[in-house]
Structures are given as structure tokens and as C-alpha cells.
Amino acid sequence: MLHITGVHGVEAFAGSAAQLALLTAPPTLPADGALILLHVLNPYGMAWLRRANEHNVDLNRNFHLDSGIWTGAPPLYKRLDPLLNPASPPARDAFALRLAAAGMRHGVHAVRQAIAHGQHRYPRGLFYGGAELQPGPRLFIDWLRQRLDMAEGVFAVDMHTGLGPHGEDTLILEPGVGTASVAALQAALRRPLRGGSAAPVAYTVRGSLGAALPRLLPGARVEFVLQEIGTWSTLRVISALREENRWHHFGEGDVDHAAKRRLLEALCPASPAWRDAAATLGADLVYRAAAWLFAERQP
């Protein structure tokens, strides 16, 4: 049972709370089972209140296992780049209205997909997938291959924040990953699933951690679920990401700034009720996934 947090650094606080809950009361494990807690794949992002790492790379767009694909961007992203990534410090510039106009012109889904898909053309831009495999993913990949090469089955949960209804979780399958049926997983996890053959998702990405796992562990039956704990509206989140990115590249970049505080609130709301819900939902999903994974084993 593999639980991953902090792929997007500033999102790690909720995942850390869930993992503390799991350390306090771990799920029941059989003799040949293990619970692995990967605490913060992107520690730089957590420390500096950034979603990206020290090279401005979105690590969930960086898990490319083939060479020669570290270039390009969705065509629409190229048109949106001046809007998404202005080369100036944070300032009021009618971003919401301009983004809405782009949605009306190109279609809301098309704009959302172009932004979030991942791009390798604008190193200072949002959702940059990098020009090479980053140190964090490389260390993680090496560790998986060394330590889990004999695993029979792996259920991985990658915990994120931002997408979905406030204080509720959305579970997303990775297309082509996993052998269990959607119905079986929904019954075991007691939540609806999105992606794959389940309900559609808001957007698809390239270079995700979940898509890479089966190739990294070819001898194991791999199930994967990305858990999103909803925070605020998509517009509020993308606006906060944009302003923090401007502050990082064209401002002072220090943590004590309104842009950093807005991003923290956008991805880890200060509300005690939200934080309690995030920790509870994160731990509960691991309990249910572990119970399903180890159902035929005895402790």
C-alpha cells in the first residue's frame, strides 16, 4: 500500500496530516504486506509555497520514461502564454475577465485542457513539464525499482488538493492503469471514480506519475487512484498559481508575500473544518484501499 504526497509541493500539508493519522493508527497489514508513506516528493515546493519544484517543473508532468519527448506545448497554450505567464510582478490586470473571454472564444474545456495538459516550451510558465527527468522523480523511480521489484500487488494513492467541491474528495483513475473493474473499486472505496471507463475528468495530463507506475513495476498488479481534496473554484486556484509564479520569477520571490499566502489558502485552506476533512478523507481512503488489497491475506 503506497501513499504519495507532495508531488505538488504546497499541496503536501494535507497529505502530511493524513500520513500522521496513518502513523498514529496504521491499517491492518498481513505478514507479507507493507504500508509505504512517501512524504513530500517535492520538498522545495512545500518549503517555498510553490506547486513546482526548484526548476519550475510540475512533477506530475515530468514522469516521462522515454527520451525525445521533452519538447512542445499544446497549440492553444502557445496562444494563452502571454495571459498565463506575463513577464512582470503580480499586479491587477483583469485576468479573470480575459480568461473568461478566452473560454468564450475557444471553449472552456479546450482552455482548461490546454492549460493543464503539460507543456515543455515555456520554462517559466505554469504546468511546465521540464526538459529532463527531475531529481525527485529520478530518486523515486530508482527506489521503486530497487525495493518493490518483487512486489506482487501495489495499490498507490497520490494525494492532491485543489480540484473538486470544497472539503470533499474526487477520485481519479489513470487511463490504462489497473486491472480491477471500476465497479469493484467503487464498491471497495465507497466513492465514485472518474477517468478511464468511469465518469469523465476535467482534463488529462501528459507525464503523470500514475501513468508511469505500471512500467516501473512490470511484475506487479498495480492499481492507482489520484485523490483530490477540493478547495476553492478553479478560477481562484489558477489565479493564485499565476500570481505566485509571477512573484517567483519577476518579484523578490520570498515566502512572506501576499501571492504566497493566496496560493497556500488556495491549496490548503486555513479553515479547521477543511483541514480536518482533508486529513480524515486521506487516511480513510488508505484504510479502504488496504482492506481491499489485502482482503485475501491474514495479518
User: Per-residue confidence at 256, pLDDT binned at 50, 70, 90?
Assistant: very high
Q: What is the pLDDT of residue 119?
A: 97
Q: What is the pLDDT of residue 6?
A: 98
**pLDDT tens digits along 147-186:** 999 999 999 999 999 999 999 999 999 999 999 999 999 9
| Comparison of pLDDT for 169 and 197, the residue scoring more | 169
Q: What is the pLDDT of residue 153?
A: 96
Q: Would you say residue 91 lies in a domain?
A: no
**pLDDT tens digits along 199-248:** 888 899 999 999 999 999 999 999 999 999 999 999 999 999 999 999 99
The grid cell for 207 is 507525464
User: Per-residue confidence at 39, pLDDT binned at 50, 70, 90?
Assistant: very high
Closest CA to 166 of 263, 46, 278, 241: 278
CATH of the domain at 163: 3.40.630
Q: Would you say residue 208 lies in a domain?
A: yes
Q: What is the pLDDT of residue 199?
A: 85
User: Per-residue confidence at 67, pLDDT binned at 50, 70, 90?
Assistant: low
Helices 108-116/75-84 angle, 10° precision: 80
Q: Would you say residue 98 lies in a domain?
A: no
Q: What is the pLDDT of residue 297?
A: 63
Average pLDDT across the chain, whole number: 96
Do the bridges between strand 153-162 and strand 2-4 make them parallel or antiparallel, or are there none, so unpaired? parallel
Domain residues for 288?
Answer: 2-66+134-293
The grid cell for 84 is 498565463
Query: Strand pairing partners for 194?
Result: 172, 199
Question: Average pLDDT for residues 32-37, to the nearest whole number?
Answer: 96
Q: Would you say residue 90 lies in a domain?
A: no
DSSP letter at 199 equals: B
Coil/strand/helix, residue 196: coil
Question: b/e for 122-160, b at 16 or more Cβ within 10 A?
Answer: beebbbbbbeebbebbeebbeebeeebeebeebbbbbbb
**pLDDT tens digits along 125-142:** 999 999 999 999 999 999
CB 217 within 8 A of CB 149: yes
Largest Cα–Cα separation, the chain: 60
pTM of this prediction exceeds 0.85: yes
CB 35 within 8 A of CB 29: yes
Number of domains the chain contains: 1
